[in-house]
Structure 1
Amino acid sequence: MKRALITGITGQDGLYLGELLISKGYEVYGLVRGQNNPKLDTVRRILPEVKLIFGDLTDLPSLLRALETARPHEVYNLGAISFVAYSWENASMTSDVTGKGAFNMLEATRLWAGSKLDDVRFYQASSSEMFGKVQEVPQRESTLLWPRSPYGVAKVFAHYMTINYRESYGMHASSGILFNHESPRRGPEFVTRKITQAVARISLGLQETVALGNLDASRDWGFAGDYVEAMWLMLQQEQADDYVIATGETQTIRELLEVAFGHVGITDWERHVTQDPRFMRPAEVDLLVGDPAKARETLGWKPKVDFRELVQMMVDSDIEDQRQTSR
């Protein structure tokens, strides 16, 4: 039986990846920061088979202990402070967790595996936010990185450190440069979930408006459940490498609003949306769209859920959640 260790098991990607690996017969361990973590109950409900280990990406000894407990064949480093807006409020912590935390996980894996480093495969969750002020459209693996947030900068550090460990130590370390991927499990602080949750509440008469930032920002949105399959496929390859994981299509926040409100029969959505300067980024990333050709050709991966299906799935889930809550 293969064993896997997932950091960031409490996030949407960690939950979907845990489900995928369990379905493939893995013994799965999840690293959790803090025994009072508010998301512990969610993990235990969705992934009762996962063995939880308490540790911290900023604490190298705790990572070594986690590796010794899990003894994994595959390590998936998904742990990060991943809310971009927050990274301006606390750039130091974002750098420590998202950037240096990835280094700590790489180093802990190298030290723990020792002479058996060839037996362990490592996945780093890189991000399209690394492209920032985009230098070409669409963005591919060779596109110059120009991050526009502390989060993006921290992800660039983690990305290049992963490449460095691959080249310096021969480590089977791959990075997935994932473009925006969403699901009903997305945190409500993220704009997609903020919108679908608001649409659900508005359709049920529980609120009137939602305040947003830049409605013209464009993103390449996919379904998180599809994207975790790409993570797994990377670690099944003979050679480690970096891959852009994206749909290759882009939509604006306005288009997202049209689909979400349209799904509940509201066509004049503008009257329910206000713009608030507080939600504008200090340095905006205007157009992100990935070229997934390499992943398609090498991994045989392509997304199954399209944009409209994704948004409708999230709205339906939030309507059900709001109905359950209001009972």
Structure 2
Amino acid sequence: MSSDLSLNINIKEPRWDQGTFMGRAQHFFMVTDPRNVLLSSETLEEARVIVENYRAGVVKPGLTEDELWRAKYVYDSAFHPDTGEKMFVIGRMSAQVPMNMTITGCMLTFYRTTPAVVFWQWVNQSFNAVVNYTNRSGDAPLTLNQLGAAYVSATSGAVVTALGLKSLAKRLPPIVSRFVPFAAVAAANCINIPFMRQRELKYGIPVMDENGNRLGESANAAKQAIAQVVVSRIGMAVPAMAIPPVIMNALEKRAFLKRFPILNAPVQVGLVGLCLVFATPLCCALFPQKSSMSVSGLEADLQEQIRQTSPQTTTVYFNKGL
């Protein structure tokens, strides 16, 4: 099919160099763009058709390279990289900022009473369960029992941690109490993500050679992927849950907020949102989405299998998930 647009553009990979932090940051600023949540089903379907047709060697007449890359990022924002399925809207990375700014802002605002702590930790972990399942690595389904166990474990861990720290913080300066939600969220991430992706730890995730040929499944690769995601998720929470409490602690002593206390929550949510707009893509960029590890780091049986089927391969690649 005749077209001015080259068919040699590699849209299987991000537009920017993923070997550098800045390249990954540019990529994730596009992936986590909150405006993508507002895109209609028709727009998402149009992007899917453009991307899949281009991969098949069919180019829409008049399509420019910038339009192709825009379609690729719209497609990536809504469709799972391994399964190709359209992801549940609040589980998409583009929903991270609006959802987290609301939930985190409320956790930081309503932290003084036990019912409020329990409620907002439950809401947060319910949201995290959706995100972790939606952005899991690989194409293997989770059973309802596995989903339930992950959800209950993470929620219980977050609530117990939050209530325990809240009790201890009563004997410490008021500013310390404001950091209880962050400690609970960090602890819950260490529980929620591995539990939600426990099938990967048991059966492994797909590993490929540099050309994308599937070589097998590796639990060792899953461990590395999950550890990187946990670090990134905790990193995302640090600015949003550490900076606003300090600012709010100072603002609440001012006459304006004392006179209009109803503004506490909106101001806090706004501060959290401002932090998340930058923290979300920058922390996603800490590690490459297409992660890698040496063949020698894989399980012994998989190493032997790769030596027999692809002896020239020394490094394998896998989607670490988000």
Whether these two folds match at TM > 0.5 is no
Higher RCO (C-alpha under 8 Å, 6+ residues apart): 2
TM normalised by structure 2 equals 0.31
Structure number, greater radius of gyration = 2
Structure ranking higher in strand proportion = 1
- Higher fraction of helix: 2
